[in-house]
Amino acid sequence: MNKAFLMFVVIITAFPHVGCQQRLRPEERAIRLVEDSLALGGELSVKHSIDKWLIEKGEEVRPMGWRVNKKDDQVYLVGYEYRIFSFQEGSGESGFFFEVNLATGAVQNVTQRVVREMGSLAPPLRNDKDIPEELLDEWEDTQRRLSGGDL
């Protein structure tokens, strides 16, 4: 076997991300940049931070997934959107939002600004009036079914 060809095969299999970023559509590249970034702060990537948060929230959150909106040739607004049904936080649609510059690879967390523009969630239902737990559970199940959560 040709040594040059063998070296090429080794490089391609050892570094699968080399060249792959160029073949992705701009929207896919924007999502990848966000997922791999540390834009939420801390030591975990955005992807791992969101996955961990979803596990912690459990059934309160129904993921809707990634959405990308083009702002100009190189700048995209990327959001990981979800529906939340929480007795403490309220209910409605929200997400984690990022502005991505494909030319520079910069990812900026703009969640607070976008969520503020979206408006607040429906107010949470609090159990300060001694509502029986069965009624609260029934209300939560009904809300989840109406939103398409348990079809």
Task: Determine the Cα–Cα distance for residues 20 and 47; give it in Å rounded to an integer.
Answer: 19
Q: Is the separation of the CB atoms in 101 and 124 below 8 Å?
A: no
- Tokens representing residue 138 in the block: 């029934």
> Among 94, 137, 139, which residue's Cα sits nearest to residue 117?
94
Which range, of 30-34, 45-49, 56-60, 145-149, averages the lowest pLDDT? 145-149
Contacts of 33 (CB under 8 A, 6+ apart): 100, 102, 105, 107
Q: How would you classify the pairing of strands 90-101 and 75-86?
A: antiparallel
**The 90-101 sheet, strands edge to edge:** 61-70, 75-86, 90-101, 106-109
What are the tens digits of pLDDT across the range 15-44? Answer: 455 445 568 999 999 999 999 999 999 899
pLDDT at 75 over 60: yes
> In what helix (H) or strand (E) does residue 78 lie, and over which residues does it extend?
strand 75-86
Is pTM beyond 0.95? Reply is no
